[in-house]
Amino acid sequence: MQHIVNKTIASLAPLISVGEKRLSILIFHRVLASYDFMRPGEITAKEFDDKMALIARYFNPLSLNDAVTKLKQGTLPQRAICVTFDDGYRDNADIAYPILKKHNIPATFYVATGFLDGGRMWNDTVIEAIRIYPKQSINLTEIDLGDYELNSDSQREVAAQKIIKQIKHLPQHERTEKVDAIASMVSKLPNDLMMDSTQIQTLSQQGVHIGGHTVTHPILSALTSEQAEQEISAGKAALENIIQQPVTEFAYPNGKPGQDYLPEHVDIVKKLGFKTAVSTQWGVSNRRSDLYQLNRFTPWDKTDGKFLSRLVLNFKII
Ligand SMILES: [Zn+2]
């Protein structure tokens, strides 16, 4: 393995040691204790540990604040990289943080405050309900979501993803109605998927940056300006109340520019006193990048060689 890693670095190093300094910002959501058939795409603790070891060894991990300052000053080191987490999952505190600490990698956790202390995001309600639904098939035709065989782990996983896909872009009230209907078909859903306030407080005291991510994780472009501002500012205020410090970093929910958020939301984020904001637009940032729309990307490759290649090649994208 080491041989492959060294070869990858050696072959790709020329690409990143010349030209303008660029910043790569990674997005993660969850780090699972072990493989979960309902979430086959999510990284496990072991995989995350391996990837962070590679980052610590071959890249220069910085906090986002630090990186942005250096980017503007023109003092960014080669292969600068930031690690960010979205949404506020409990495993960020229980599993990801100890690994980040072990490798001395700073991070920003963007937290949607409406799910703290026992809440659950709607997509997780669907996943967890389909996981535990007691029958071997589920009929959701009454709420226009079709019917599904649930005879195997993989059928359950596929069914949950198909349902999520159909309701993802519905207006919020319609989505809530359908998710509530699905939730009512099972008896007990987990209420410990997200962090609690004390965990946020402790992480902040330990040096993790806590960033805003709204209250209920809406698609901002689907809201009125007033609603969007309320979501962003209430989330900021709730976090500041928990950590007793200014919250100056923000991540747009879903994060596709022109689709999930619009220029008016960038203005709101500026007006509310945030210093940086991140999107999910793929790519890296350079000196001319808009600090309120910094690009990010998801390092989804499972093998270390591919992961490294992708990280390095990401520096090539403007
Ligand atoms: Zn999110």
Report whether pLDDT(159) > 90.
yes
Q: How many CB atoms lie within 10 A of CB 272?
A: 17
Task: Indicate if the pLDDT at residue 1 is higher than 60.
Answer: no
Do 293 and 281 meet the contact criterion of CB atoms below 8 Å apart?
Answer: yes
The candidate with the shortest Cα–Cα distance to 150, out of 165, 139, 135, 162, is 135
46 CB-near residues (< 8 Å, 6+ apart): none
Segment 215-222 mean pLDDT: 94
| pLDDT given at position 297 | 86
| CA of 95 relative to ligand 1 center, distance in Å | 18
Rounded-to-integer distance, Cα 315 and Cα 85, Å: 20
- 180 Cα–ligand 1 center, Å: 20
How many angstroms separate the alpha carbon of residue 213 from the centre of ligand 1? 7
Cα(170) to ligand 1 centroid in Å equals: 17
**C-alpha of residue 154 to centroid of ligand 1, in Å:** 25
Span from the CA of 318 to the centroid of ligand 1 (angstroms): 24
List, in order of start, the domains of the chain with CATH numbers.
2-118+194-314 (3.20.20.370), 122-183 (no CATH)
Whole-angstrom Cα distance, residue 272 to residue 236? 9
Give the pLDDT confidence of 38-90 residue by residue, as tens digits.
Answer: 999 899 999 999 999 999 998 999 999 999 999 989 899 988 999 999 999 99
17 Cα–ligand 1 center, Å: 33
pLDDT > 50? residue 18: no
DSSP string, 155-167: HHHHHHHHHHHHH
pTM: 0.91
Q: How far is the CA of 142 from the centre of ligand 1 (A)?
A: 29
Query: Count H helices, E strands: the chain?
Result: 12, 11
Summarize pLDDT for 274-290 with one digit per residue, the tens. 999 999 999 888 888 99
